[in-house]
Chain A
Amino acid sequence: MGPTGGIGSSLAFSFRRRHFLYGNPHSAASLPLQIRILRRGDQRVNVKKTGSATDPLWYKDAIIYELHVRAFADSNGDGIGDFGGLMSRLDYLQDLGVTCIWLLPFFPSPLRDDGYDIANYVDVNPSYGTLDDFRKFLDAAHLRGMQVMIELVINHTSDQHPWFKAARLAPPGSPEREMYVWSDTDKLYDGVRIIFTDTEKSNWTWDDQAKAFYWHRFFSHQPDLNFDNPRVMQEVLTAMRFWLDMGVDALRLDAIPYLIERDGTNCENVPETHVKIKEIRAVIDGEYGNRTILAEANMWPADVRPYFGDGDECHMAFHFPLMPRIYMALRQEDRLPITDIMAQTPEIPANCQWGLFLRNHDELTLEMVTDDERDYMYLAYSADPRMRINVGIRRRLAPLVDNNRRRIELLNSLLLSFPGTPIMYYGDEIGMGDNIYLGDRNGVRTPMQWNSDRNAGFSRCDPARLYFPVVMDPIYGYQVVNVEAQLSDQSSLLHWTRNMIALRKLFQVFGRGTLTFLNPDNRKILAYLRKLEREDGSNEIVLCVANLSRFAQPCSLDLKEYEGMAPVEMLGYVPFPKIEAAPYAVTLSPYSFLWLELQAAPTVDASLELSPEAAVLATVDAAAHAEATPLLDLATTIWATLLTGATLASIETALPAYLLRQRWFGAKSRVVQTIRILDWAELPGAGTPPAALFYLSISYTDGETHTYQLPLALSTGPDADAIQAAAPNSILLKLPTAEGPALLYDAVNRKDLRESLLSLIEAESSLPMRDPVTVATEAAAPASLSAQPGEAVPPAAAEKLEPKPAGTISGRKSSAFAGVRGTGALVSRTGSAEQSNTSILYGGKLIMKLFRRLQPGENPDTEIGRFLTDVAHYPHIAPFLGELDMIGPDGQPTTIAMLQGLVANEGDGWAWFLEQLAQFYTSVASVAGPSDTGCAPSFLNDASIPSDATAYAAASIEAAALLGRRTGEMHLALATETTDPAFAAEHFSGDDLDIDARRIDVQITSTLEALKRGLAQLKDLTADAAALLLSRRIELYARAHAITGTASGAAESGMRTRIHGDYHLGQVLRTPDQDYVILDFEGEPARTLEERRRKQSPLKDVAGMLRSFSYAAYSGLDAFAKTRPAESRSLEPWAKLWQNTVSTAFLRAWSETVSAKRGLIPSAPRAQALLNAYLLEKALYELLYELNNRPDWVRIPLAGILALEK
């Protein structure tokens, strides 16, 4: 009763699926037809008796399962299968997917030819049950949506049939006698071949009672009926009506070519036979609906063709010659036997169908092969002469192919995908074996193997009583091969067969479509197309490829006709590469096969907006989209062609997700609405197409629009592989090309791009820019745009149509360039520390900062770098060497890259101080808390540095003091007297202070809003602090306005100069001589350029650095806590001490240094007020940043704000 019991029972349930109410899908579709028939019924004189099927062409979609009642299941324990047993197994057949059951003869019979010797046409053999049992079975099968086919053996009867008994006694010429073919001589019809060569010597047998020879094409105990006697036909029709009235859906006409004998012929296929068949068919068509007759005519296809008539004889006929040739093709690993016989197969009327089979109850007949082929087949498939019988091989499917699962699957795949209705022989779905020691063809007629119980679960009787023994050998024995075991094994042949049948039934094309062979050069590959065009205009195309070889095989298929279509592997619904004009290459593993459904290339709806949550899906989408675009030919591709139509759409679709993955993309908390490519500049000589700098306009849902720079390149082959391995995150899109997938990726990963950027500056040259609209109009783009489905064009497309003049990109170098650059080649690489911009390093000498988000106007970094290098000659910065500007059509420059000299350093200040801190915490870990944590840095008090600090953090304090001095010097340099209006120092005005206050206001508002939204994600303690902060909202505003408080405030606020703007420990480098170099005058990246270029109080930089010390103290503590969690808890006071003392040292050194220029810094109280305000602003800014990017760090700025003096 535990969970295992549950699983077991659920499995049983799962296999017992039934179409209880809905029936199969095709019958649903054809239902109205039936209704119409019924409605008209009352006007008819003769009501047609329709069968259980609703579609008159049901046999075309059928899966026929051939079984012998005797061999299937025994319900009464007499050792012989019966209808009761069969009924108990109908669920099994239904779950297997069988739609039609073909019963071998079950009529009363002496059973000397497996029931084909019938002694009474209108009854059931008592061993199998009664007529009533048959009716019950019929109803049960119909209830399950299965049709039933029975045998109509009209060529001959048993010699025990009352007709024959009467005929023997009746005088010659009497109607009784004339039921059979009699002759006084056995020389009549001389030369007619003998079919059962092993047992019969003549087609005539002498009858003592009748004193005449009687004619028999098969065994001597099976006299042939005389169809020249009209009474015979009447009797046959009576028998046929008997079964059809009962509801039987289909009849198999046995041995049909031999119905009529004519002298001088081979007595096969004589024209009168067709008259007889037409007669039978006319009765069926006239009195019944939706019934089928299947002809057994073991003939060449061309000879079988007449049995279809003009669609007015048999509905179906077996395709006998195909069967041996499939085996031959498999053994020879050559498709020729199959394609050859199919080429000989004539067209058949539209309402007719071939019946296909791999094995049946008879021998694998070799009548329809040449002598050589027969010899080959004997040698190939019947090692033991016992396996041969008559003109054939009496073996089951599995033993024929040496029980190789892959061969069985391959053969079944052919059976299920060839044009015709597949007929499966019972037991082959589980790979049953045979018993060649049984006589005649009985080796393949052993009891069905249901389970591993006694008699294989077939019967409860004494094993000796079975009609034939069950197979018991160690390989195929019922202990190993049985239904129960295979049902519980998900990977069994039974499950495989069931799935394949279900799959075939989903596609009508298999039953109804046309067949076209593809002829790949590799003859071990059999490839063919099945195609069905429906009346409603839709079509189904399936490509089947089978490898007949026992080794893997390549092949390329000519699918030009289907160019642009997308094959989808049918078993697993796996999309395959699209078909192009070039041969379609496929590799197949041994004996494998592929069923590919050719689908029209999907159209993708790109109108959906993408939200961050959808980003992951968008990548999937984009990938699918990429596959949908036509293949690119790289040799001729230029960006202009690439950026039209579908590729452009897929690039623009893929971008949102891509950007979110990039560290330099700063708007992660915003929702991207649209992205479009503004324009681009191709760099000379870097790849085909050359790598190019792209400019993207990104608009967000909040109405903001940003411009980003993204260098892109396209690579295939090994280049692409290298990129895939080295920088997978830089790949934007995979595009299918003739040379395999091409990668579109961030080109900073390319050496040639990096070099051509440097040479642009070195040569001070310029590049033209291009934009999609001009390009599109040049290339008659409206056509290519409108070729896309309407919804695939993003809304931005409309705007793009306004033409606009393109700008240029130009390089400029400073006077210092040549000196630093030197000569010789420089090896370039991208900087590993990806920040909001990307840096490229050249040979340890130069560093180029490639800006990502572009803001119109000159970048402050270049501007200040130039000023400090050329005008102020401040030594402690990286030398400014040159820049790249994008000059818009209006002449307005936008800096896109800056080149600096690389400074020898030991890492940045941040890393250095963290190292110091690590030592500091290690040394104080075992010490009790500091007696005094010092006080926060202030202009107002002159507190001494606590002794604890000097004892443990002397190096840090000293370094901070030096940094303070250098910072001060930088501010003095920035305040250098100059005529340049961009740099001249100014006095504060009231308005300036107001602007500052307002800015802080805005910062407070936006940060607190974000904090409120993000509160949920914070950890408990941090959330408490955040809540506390939120509660102090009013106080914070008050503090921001404190700087505007006094009327004279403005005058006393010192000077405004250009400042660093985003000053923190990460912006200074520690040089080997224990000094500092200051970097990156760009300002805060999130602010507008105008804001960043504003002159401000140097105290703002000081506030930045002080916050940075705070960050360092706490992140150092975090790092320490990770290694030694136990000791870190008590270190909080030490962190405070370190922060306070180091900050104080920095502030003191700084204020001493800047005091050299009078008026630059205001008086102490005023300076303190300003500093507090800036500290608040900075900390709020940090808080916002952390909320958006690193929620784990939120507590540091939060603590900083809460610790600020009130």
Chain B
Amino acid sequence: MATTNTTPDLSSHPGAQTERDAGLLVSLPSLPPDSLQATLAHLTEAFPGRPLLVTTPDGAQTLPSGSSLRVVPYTPVNASASPWVLAAADFVNAYELAQKNQAQSVLLLGGETQSLSVDALRSLAMSVEAKTDLTVACYDLGPREGLVNSAILYPVTRALYGVRPRFPLAVDLGLSLRMAEKLATVAGRYTAGNQPDALLWPVAEAALAGFSIQEVEAGARVLPPPAGLDLNGLLGMIAGSLFADVDAKAAFWQRARNLQPRLVQMQTIPPNDAPADVKPMLDTFRLAYTNLHELWSLVLPPASLLGLKRLSQAPPNAFRMPDALWARIVYDFILAYRLRTLNRGHLLGALTPLYLAWVASHLQLVDTGVAPEKHIETLATAFEADKPYLVSRWRWPDRFNP
């Protein structure tokens, strides 16, 4: 696959090609020198002979021999301190660069870019050039990776906005110019408020604007590891951002209904034999059940509390959190976040043990041979089925509910 043969189709129409090439801009994050070199090599391989615009904040680069890339170094105006995920500053930078270079579309790549395969680069570019407004990468992950995404981000985004991308927070995105402008506008509000690290939800923004969204297979990829914070802090940050976004887009998602078909199937990298050690997670959950019960009871309705009680008494090997229960828990936390039932920091902290319980349940289920992706899809269906609950409570936030 990885040979550098030039596609005759591309080289035979140089005119059309340059016109197109002026359109696409690849925006790279700050990378260590060797990763950057590897990435440039990949890009050269993916787009042989095309004078592609590549922007990097890392200064002037020597290109691999025979490369036709045009590397444009720049100094970012806003720098994000969280290189593991695309943040507001990245979108602002990307749009500025696209404008400056008169690009028609942007390929916004996240950290550890060198691990992105040549095929993935090509298919991302192809989708972007097919006038898709937002192209989202779909990665192949192991069954024990990307769990927050599987547990919360994906089902919630899918159920609320009716859009299917499996990774709402994918680090590799293709943006049309108008999508980039829209995201930059939204991001501008954060960067102006000196929050260059704020998360954006491109998928939700695109759905809100009625833009086309496409998902492309990106294969396996090393996802940049989150920096610094512990699980609790990260979950609080990401879920908090998602919940706030849900709050801000209420008028839209309460009317979004039709689900877009999913074209890409996520491939799960088969797990290794050793069953997951879920005991610590269960311990956390049990401990939290005895200690955080009164906080939860401010947030969750009695039926969910009963479900948790049963869970807390379940033997470890029969520990299964029903999908419907998890969906309802997440929805009730979104509602509590909106209503400020309790301090938002505390609220998200109280979600962590529940999330761990879900993870434990999910891993145990996977260990019995259920395909993880299948369970996630079922889970997403459960979220969809329970969406009316969220909408009705959102509209009528009565405490007297099931």
Using a CB–CB cutoff of 8 Å, the interface residues on chain A facing chain B are 3, 6-7, 10, 13-14, 16-17, 21-22, 25-26, 28-29, 31-32, 35, 490-491, 495, 499, 502-503, 505-508, 536, 538, 540, 570-575, 597, 599-600, 602-603, 605, 607-609, 611, 613-614, 616-617, 620-621, 624, 790-791, 1013, 1016-1017
Number of A-B contacts (CB under 8 A): 126
Q: Taking the nearest CB of chain A, how far is it from the CB of B188, in angstroms? A: 8
Say whether, besides A10-B298, A573-B392, A599 and B257 are in contact (CB < 8 Å): yes
The answer for the CA separation of A1017 and B388 in the assembled complex, in Å, is: 35
A contact residues around B144 at 8 Å (CB): none
Q: Is the CB of A608 within 8 A of B378?
A: yes
Q: How far is the CA of A400 from the CA of B365 in the complex (A)?
A: 62
In the complex, the answer to whether A1016 meets B318 with C-beta atoms within 8 Å is yes
| Interface residues as binary, B158-184 with A (CB distance below 8 Å gives 1, 0 otherwise) | 000000000000000000000001100
Which B372-402 residues have a C-beta within 8 angstroms of A? 374-375, 377-378, 381-382, 385, 388, 391-392, 395-400
Indicate whether A540 sits within 8 Å of B255 (C-beta atoms), given known contacts A573-B388, A621-B385, A791-B261: yes
Given the known interface contacts A490-B398, A605-B259, A614-B378, the answer about A506 and B185 at a Cβ–Cβ threshold of 8 Å is no
What mask results when residues 193 to 217 of chain B are scored 1 for a CB within 8 Å of chain A, else 0? 1000000000000001010000000
Complexed CA–CA distance, A1016 and B365 (Å): 13
Closest to B342 in A: A10
Please tell me if B12 contacts chain A, counting CB pairs below 8 Å: no
Chain A residues within an 8 Å CB radius of B370: 611, 613
CB contacts (< 8 Å) of B324 on chain A: these are 616-617
Please name all residues of chain A whose beta carbon is closer than 8 Å to the beta carbon of B185 when the two chains form the complex: 31-32, 35
Whether the Cβ atoms of B395 and A602 lie closer than 8 Å is no
CA distance A620 to B382 in the complex (A): 10
Q: For B398, list chain A residues within 8 Å (CB).
A: 490-491, 495
User: Can you name 7 A-B pairs with beta carbons within 8 Å?
Assistant: A22-B244, A25-B252, A499-B397, A505-B251, A507-B251, A573-B391, A611-B375
How far is B179's CA from A32's CA once the two chains are assembled, in angstroms?
A: 13
Taking a contact as CB atoms under 8 Å apart, the answer to whether A14 and B210 are in contact is: no
Choose among B250, B317, B365 the residue that contacts A25 (Cβ–Cβ < 8 A): B250
Q: What are the residues of chain A within 8 A of B340 when measuring CB–CB? A: 10, 13-14, 16-17
- Extra pairs beyond A13-B340, A613-B378 (10, CB < 8 Å): A6-B294, A10-B298, A14-B341, A506-B251, A573-B388, A573-B395, A613-B370, A617-B323, A621-B381, A1013-B368
CB-contact partner of B338 in A17, A32, A790, under 8 A: A17
Identity of the chain B residue whose Cβ is nearest the Cβ of A602 in the assembled complex: B257
Query: Known: A506-B251, A570-B395. Contact between A17 and B339, CB under 8 A?
Result: yes
Contact B374 A13 (CB under 8 A): no
Beta-carbon nearest neighbor of A575 in chain B = B388
Complex contact B395–A609 (CB within 8 A): no
A171 and B318 alpha carbons, distance in the complex (Å): 100
Given A573-B388, A573-B392, A613-B323; A506-B339 close (CB under 8 Å): no
* Minimum CB–CB distance for A463 against chain B, Å: 36
Closest residue of chain A to B388 (Cβ to Cβ) is A573
Contact of B395 among A28, A499, A536, A1017 (CB under 8 A): A499
Contacts A506-B395, A599-B257 given; does A6 touch B323 at CB 8 Å:
no
B residues in contact with A35, CB < 8 Å = 185
B58 on the A face (CB < 8 A): no
Q: How far is the CA of A605 from the CA of B162 in the complex (A)?
A: 11
List 3 A-B pairs, minimum CB-CB distance, nearest first: A1016-B317, A22-B248, A573-B392
Contact (Cβ within 8 A) B294 A3: yes
Inter-subunit contact B378/A574 (CB<8 Å): no
Cβ of A608: which chain B residues have Cβ within 8 Å of it?
377-378, 381
Closest residue on chain B to residue A503 by CB atoms? B395
Residue B119 at the A interface, CB < 8 A? no
Complex: A540 Cα to B251 Cα, angstroms: 12
With the chains together, A1017 CA to B368 CA distance in Å?
13
Q: How far is the CA of A600 from the CA of B315 in the complex (A)?
A: 46
- Whether B5 sits at the interface, judged by CB under 8 Å, is no
B247 within 8 A of A: yes
Chain A residues whose C-beta falls within 8 Å of the C-beta of B374 in the assembled complex: 609, 611
Q: How far is the CA of A14 from the CA of B335 in the complex (A)?
A: 10
Closest to A604 in B: B259
Q: How large is the interface on B (under 10, 10 to 19, 20 to 34, 35 or more residues)?
A: 35 or more
Residue B122, interface by CB 8 Å: no
When distances are taken between beta carbons in the complex, the residues of chain A under 8 Å from B249 are 25
Chain A CB count within 10 A is highest, among B315, B341, B381, for B381
Query: In the complex the two chains form, what is the Cα distance from A572 to B398 in whole Å?
Result: 11
Q: CA of A1016 to CA of B385 in the docked complex: distance in angstroms?
A: 31
Q: How far is the CB of A983 from chain B (nearest CB, A)?
A: 44
A303, B288: Cα distance in complex, Å: 68
A495–B208 alpha-carbon span in the complex (Å): 29
- CB nearest to B247 among chain A residues: A22
Shortest distance between the CB of A166 and any CB in chain B (Å): 51
Note all chain A residues with C-beta closer than 8 A to B385: 617, 620-621, 624
Which residues of chain B are near A572, meaning CB under 8 Å? 392, 395-396
Are B341's CB and A502's CB within 8 A?
no
Which A residues are CB-close (under 8 A) to B313? Answer: none
Closest Cβ neighbor of A19 among chain B residues: B248
Chain B, residue nearest A616 (CB): B324
Contact residues in B for A507 (Cβ distance below 8 Å): 251
The smallest beta-carbon distance between B210 and chain A, in angstroms, is 5
B254 within 8 Å of A by Cβ?
A: yes
B343 contacts across to A, CB distance below 8 A: 13
- Is the CB–CB distance between A10 and B341 below 8 Å? yes
**In the complex, B258 has a CB within 8 A of chain A:** yes
Q: How far is the CA of A697 from the CA of B243 in the complex (A)?
A: 45
Q: CA of A616 to CA of B382 in the docked complex: distance in angstroms?
A: 10
Binary flags per residue of B42-67, CB closer than 8 Å to A gives 1, else 0: 00000000000000000000000000
* Residues of B close to A570: CB separation below 8 A: 395
**What 0/1 pattern do residues 234 to 264 of B give for CB contact below 8 A with A?**
0000000000100111111011011101000
Q: Which positions 326-346 of chain B face chain A at CB distance < 8 Å?
A: 338-343
A28 to B378, CA, bound (A): 34
Q: Which residue of A lies closest to B339 (CB)?
A: A14
Which residues of the other chain, A, contact B381 by a CB distance below 8 angstroms? Answer: 608, 614, 617, 621
Expressed in whole angstroms, the Cα–Cα distance for A505 and B252 within the complex equals 11
Q: How far, in whole Å, are A224 and B338 apart by their CA atoms in the complex?
A: 51
Q: Are B341 and A6 in contact (CB under 8 A)?
A: no
B254's closest neighbor in chain A, by CB?
Answer: A506
Interchain CB contact under 8 A, A574 and B392: yes
Q: Which residue of B lies closest to A623 (CB)?
A: B385
Cα distance A555–B291 in the bound complex, in angstroms: 54
Bound-state Cα–Cα, A17 to B257, Å: 27
Min CB–CB distance A1017 → chain B (angstroms): 6
A499–B391 alpha-carbon span in the complex (Å): 13
CA of A28 to CA of B244, assembled, Å: 14
B368 CB contacts on chain A under 8 angstroms: 1013
Closest B residue, CB atoms, query A11 = B341
Q: How far is the CA of A35 from the CA of B395 in the complex (A)?
A: 32
Measured between beta carbons, the chain A residues less than 8 angstroms from B298 are 6-7, 10
Report Cα–Cα, A13/B208, bound state, in Å: 29
B contact residues around A603 at 8 Å (CB): 258-259
The docked-state distance in angstroms from the alpha carbon of A538 to that of B208 is 12
Partner of A21, one of B193, B255, B261, B294: B193
- Whether the Cβ atoms of B399 and A490 lie closer than 8 Å is yes
**In the bound complex, what is the Cα–Cα distance between A791 and B189 (angstroms)?**
40
CB distance from B190 to the nearest CB of A (A): 9
A481: shortest Cβ distance to chain B, in Å?
21
Q: Once bound together, how far apart are the Cα atoms of A111 and B304, in whole Å?
A: 58
Q: How far is the CB of B321 from chain A (nearest CB, A)?
A: 11
B353 CB, min distance to chain A CBs, angstroms: 19
Q: How far apart sit A506 and B375, CA to CA, in the bound complex (Å)?
A: 33
B 272-301 to A, binary, CB cutoff 8 A, 1 in contact else 0:
000000000000000000000010001000
CB-nearest residue of chain B to A495: B398
Residues of B within 8 A of A616 (CB): 324
Closest B residue to A28 by CB, please name it. B248
Q: Which residues from chain B contact A536 at a C-beta distance below 8 Å?
A: 210
Question: Within the assembled complex, what's the spacing in Å between the Cα atoms of A360 and B276?
Answer: 67
